[in-house]
Chains A and B, each alone.
Chain A
Amino acid sequence: MTAIPVYDPRGVVDAAPLTTAPRAKKLEGLRLGLLDNTKWNANKLLRGVRDRLAQKHAFGAVNYYRKESFSLSAAPGLLSEIAANNDVVLTAIGD
């Protein structure tokens, strides 16, 4: 009985594990950053969520950012700026 070799065309996924950020303990006083990827209605969704969250929590600051292109990753400079000036971030929309 001669077995026949068969082959997998998919290749492996090599991903060096990344840990998530330490979680926030509370939201009061934190700086909130919103990143809008400019897809249709992302801005309405983000602004609506922002307003409700800001009513509930006394954020230290609220900052709104927009990507250049909805499809490409945000420019590294933009991400650094967001990280430097905010404590929690909200992004939209993956659709």
Chain B
Amino acid sequence: MHDTVMLEAKGRPTAAIVTSEFLLEAETQRDALGMTGLGAVVITHPLSSLTDEEIGRRIEQALPQIERVWLTGKAGGN
């Protein structure tokens, strides 16, 4: 989240993908860095152990959230 906050601070809309288990950490980091207005893209945990087909489903989950973060700042429907 640190990289994401820094990139936003440099003026680039940035969508950070986190798994559901790590959303709280991402929000904590973001708040601790002062950027409470930033939304994260959330996919169901885990990612590391998934098959390609399961990764495909996470891609579907992420796509609309990514566009919303870039265009509105919030992922919506987290």
Contacts and interface: CB of A to CB of B under 8 A. Distances in A.
Interface of A: 13, 15-25, 27, 33, 35, 37, 39-42, 44-45, 48-49, 52-53, 67, 73-74, 79-80, 82-83, 86-95
Nearest to B42: A94
Contacts, number: 148
Instruction: Please indicate which of the listed interface residues A13, A52, A95 has the most CB atoms of chain B within 10 Å of its own CB.
Output: A95
A82 B4 CA distance: 11
A18 B37 CA distance: 9
Given A20-B38, A45-B58, A92-B17, 9 more contacts: A18-B35, A19-B37, A24-B71, A40-B47, A79-B6, A79-B7, A90-B17, A91-B15, A94-B26
A95 B45 contact: yes
Interface residues of B, number: 52
Contact of A83 (B5, B11, B22, B25): B11
Given A39-B48, A41-B55, A89 B12 contact: yes
30 contacts: A13-B31, A18-B34, A21-B11, A21-B13, A33-B12, A35-B3, A37-B3, A40-B47, A44-B55, A45-B17, A45-B43, A73-B3, A79-B6, A79-B10, A82-B12, A83-B7, A87-B13, A88-B12, A88-B14, A89-B15, A91-B4, A91-B7, A91-B14, A91-B17, A92-B16, A93-B18, A94-B19, A95-B19, A95-B21, A95-B22
